[in-house]
Amino acid sequence: MTNHVPELPEVQTIVSDLNKILVGRTIKTFHLLNQKTLGLSKVVFTRRVRGKKILAVKRRAKMIIIDLGEELILIHLKMTGQLIVGAAGRWLAGGGHPIANEPKELPNKFSRAWFGLDHGLSLFFNDVRKFGWIKLIKAKNLSEATANFGLEPLSKEFTLENFSKLLSRKKKSFIKQALLDQKGLVGLGNIYADEVLFAAKIKPLRRVGDLRPAEMRRLFAAIPQVLKSAIRHRGTSFSDYLDASGKQGNYSRLLKVYGRTNQPCRVCSRPIAKMKLGGRGTHWCDFCQK
DNA sequence: GTACTTGTTGAACG
DNA sequence: TCGTTCAACAAGTA
């Protein structure tokens, strides 16, 4: 099967949905089913979050931030994490990596932690491979906790000048690997790095320093264009679930190269190529991309 | 049974 | 000291 790991559009979709449901709710209980998920003792964590009201749900890079005021809960879904809101066992909203035949009752065997909220709601953190994590920090320490994350591609700081500047620090790198480095630009994972390069008509094996100014401008334009389009379609990760209003995420149908090895290019009909680059599957059209 | 999948971390390297 | 590279992590699916 094709993996649909949460990247920026998927995390943004989850955050937007959770914001509508969770703001104003109070955390009543916390349940930990896998110690490794929490970088803190359950007792300490519970003491610090119990009774706190959720003021907002935010995103930084691919990280989800539940804002409790002075305390912030940071959640990273990594490859297979999900955040699901349930009410009386009913699946209301949220998302992440679709799990085949996942039991729809909550918590289930993939649940690693969950929060009991007021109004009978619960927030479940499910994670098949146990890569994801939940942390708790003081709000004043946020910049320290996010020090390794670079430029947000959908912020006003994402300008051609700033983008060129961060790329100029890695002139010898392959452009795809530079796009995946979260210390430079955040939010692009393996799927959208391939998609962005296709949209910009640039091969993943081009060296950063060899890109012409026109190619840099195409790449700069392609990044928010691809990400916004994916967000409009609620990301790629949502093929397996329906949210409260019955909407499905369906960007997977719009993917141009990722997971389409040997299938005809949607532009020129030639087969999509695949190779391993830095240990990651890399897909491109050898004719459309130069 | 084996290969394949990936975001971040931390170790190894130069 | 610093930047860069790469294996490790985990477990379901093909």
Asked if pLDDT for residue A53 goes beyond 90, the answer is yes
Q: What is the pLDDT of residues A235-263, one digit of tens each?
A: 775 544 444 444 555 676 788 999 898 89
- Residue A280: active-site member: yes
Q: How far is the CA of A181 from the C1' of B12 (A)?
A: 19
Chain C, protein-covered positions (CB within 7 A): 4-14
Task: Provide the b/e sequence for A5-43 (b: ≥16 CB within 10 Å).
Answer: bbbbbbbbbbbebbeebbeebebeebbbeeeebbeeeee
Footprint of strand B on the protein (CB under 7 A): A 3, 5, 7, 61-63, 76, 78-79, 131, 148, 180, 182, 189-191, 276, 279-281
pTM here?
0.89
CA distance A241 to A59: 22
The overall average pLDDT reported for chain A is 85
Proximity of residue A79 CB to strand C below 7 A: yes
Q: What is the mean pLDDT of residues A194-215?
A: 92
- What pLDDT is recorded for position A107? 83
Residue A186 in tokens: 């955040």
Per the structure, the residue whose CA is closest to nucleotide C6 at C1' is A278
Q: What is the pLDDT of residues A87-129, one digit of tens each?
A: 755 566 666 655 555 666 778 888 899 999 998 899 999 888 8
Asked if pLDDT for residue A1 goes beyond 50, the answer is no
